[in-house]
Structure 1
Amino acid sequence: MSTPSPSAKNRILDAANRLFYGEGIRAVSVDAIATRAGLTKKTLYYHFKSKDDLIEAYLASRDQPNLALFRKWFDEAEGDLADKAEAIFVNLAQSARHPKWKGCGFLRTAAELANMPGHPAMKVGADHKKKFEAWLCEVFGEGRTADPDELARHIVLLMDGAFSTVLVHHDPAYIESAGRAAREVVTNALCTPPKSKAPLR
């Protein structure tokens, strides 16, 4: 039984993912994406009104797969919350050692669109980062850590700082160092009693 071929829209998105992630959104033309997808530019514009729409769709297509991967790394790790938090960084460092790894597509796109804060892809990227932070806050809250909101934000800052530093130095060891820092931060939060709400008077 033959496998059905992907739709034209999926072929375009797949090509956009490979080219935008590999080379950057400004360096890649619509013509290059159409050629990579094996379609005409007219067909591409039938599915996406503009390159900006395609950039937005490119990031949106990476949202859930990336979040699911972070959850998988977290859930599969043994140990307490600190071990699990560090495991995200350990796995990320392993991914960063792959020759095709180019860092965080959301941060790289935001950097290229820094002078266009109203671009729809900027909202997609911001929403993705907030979803990751909200998920961390949820798991830290369930683990009864002190101030899970602040703890989640600390991990996000370590994560995005690691992403940025590796792009500069091309050394995944920085991600591993960030992971050890994350472990220490979470361990300290586990040792501190959660803040209790003031009683009603």
Structure 2
Amino acid sequence: MKSTALRTPQPARTPAGRAKDKILATAFRLFYAQGLRAAGIDTIIAESGVAKATFYKYFPAKDDLILAYLEKVDGVWTGQLHAAAEAAGPDPADQLVGLFDALATACRRDGYRGCAFINAAAESPSGTRVHDRTVAHKKKISAWIRDLAVQAGAPEPEQLARSLALVLDGGLASGVLDGDPASALTARNTAAQLVSVSLGAKP
């Protein structure tokens, strides 16, 4: 005679092929919202719905997950900056100003907490893999801005790029401190003045 006893339902397991993506998506949300150190591994495992062994298979250390998170953020933010610049038209001078439209979009987003790389740098000691990754990101963005400045004919492209990068970072921070998306417009207007002066036109 077959047993009619009710069996306790077993929790659904995440397919192996999706586990890494679910972990990274959960980390992306929690790291940005709570900070790198405040978002614990146990919480990420629980909310991603994967087994602990599966988590450590893909990310042996927390810094490995943080680096994967920063890599994802890099792709998203860099893509948004490039798209905003290209939307301004083919003129490199216009693109130097247009890239700031990405800042306006970011500051209006629900749950905005500033630049993920600046936040990560603040939580990571100099010389660590995580801090080095934040520096690499900033250098890459600055190099791209400098290339645009060269194409625009700026007599001092390095100086212009540094100034615009500072305005961009300041706008990212101000959007959090002021809680006002209008800071992005101020940053854009400042960028327009810097580009105009650098290229020899009246601001």
TM-score range, shorter chain: 0.7 to 0.9
SS of the residue corresponding to residue 7 of structure 1 reads helix
**By how many angstroms is 1:32 displaced?**
1.1
Is the aligned partner of 1:75 residue 2:93? no
TM-score (norm 1): 0.85
Question: Contact 1:158 / 1:178 at 8 angstroms: preserved in 2?
Answer: yes
% identity of equivalent residues: 34
- Separation in 2, partners of 1:182, 1:5: 47
Q: Which residue of 1 aligns with 2:195?
A: 186
- Separation in 1, partners of 2:17, 2:149: 39
- Separation in 2, partners of 1:5, 1:146: 54
Any residues of structure 2 matched to 1:1-201 within 5 Å, and which? 7-78=18-89, 80-113=91-124, 116-191=125-200
- Separation in 1, partners of 2:90, 2:61: 47
- Separation in 1, partners of 2:192, 2:91: 10
Letter of the 1:84 counterpart: Q
Question: Contact 1:82 / 1:184 at 8 angstroms: preserved in 2?
Answer: no
Question: Contact 2:103 / 2:172 at 8 angstroms: preserved in 1?
Answer: no
Aligned-pair RMSD on alpha carbons? Answer: 1.9
**Cα gap change, 1:178 to 1:29, in 2 (>3 Å):** same
Give unpaired runs (5+ residues) of structure 2. 1-14
**By how many angstroms is 1:88 displaced?**
2.3
Q: Higher relative contact order at CA 8 Å, sep ≥6: structure 1 or structure 2?
A: 1
TM-score (norm 2): 0.85
Question: Contact 2:146 / 2:158 at 8 angstroms: preserved in 1?
Answer: yes
Aligned length: 187
**By how many angstroms is 1:29 displaced?**
0.6
Give unpaired runs (5+ residues) of structure 1. 193-201
**By how many angstroms is 1:89 displaced?**
2.1
